[in-house]
């Protein structure tokens, strides 16, 4: 992108078109994946992250259920008239 902007400035094309519409070239390169040799580090990190997030979600859900049951018991206790 920087090379395209330099060319726009050099040739004086800035008045004709805004810099964001200048002649640019994408810097990304797409390569064909190698299925014979997978990236095991990336696979492990993906599955590990997924497992950690599910574990956290289940732990939070269990804590929320326990808090709900505790509050329900307290509410029931107050309504039964213990005085």
Q: Which domain holds residue 12?
A: 4-81
3-26 pLDDT tens trace = 666 765 666 655 555 556 556 677
Q: Which of 35, 41, 43, 8 is nearest to 23 (CA)?
A: 8
DSSP state of 81: -
Q: What pLDDT is attached to residue 21?
A: 56
- Distances, alpha carbon 74 to alpha carbons 59, 62, 64, 70, in Å: 23, 18, 15, 6
The string of pLDDT tens digits covering residues 26-82 is: 778 788 878 888 899 999 999 999 999 999 999 999 999 999 999 999 888 665 556
Total number of domains constituting the chain: 1
Give this prediction's pTM: 0.50
């Amino acid at each position: 992108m920087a090379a395209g902007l330099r060319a726009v400035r050099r040739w004086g094309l800035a008045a004709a078109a805004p810099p964001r519409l200048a002649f640019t070239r994408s810097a990304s390169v797409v390569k064909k994946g190698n299925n014979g040799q997978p990236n095991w580090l990336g696979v492990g990190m993906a599955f590990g992250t997924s497992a950690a997030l599910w574990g956290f979600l289940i732990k939070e859900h269990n804590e929320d259920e326990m808090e709900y049951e505790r509050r329900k018991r307290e509410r029931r206790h107050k309504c039964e008239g213990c005085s």
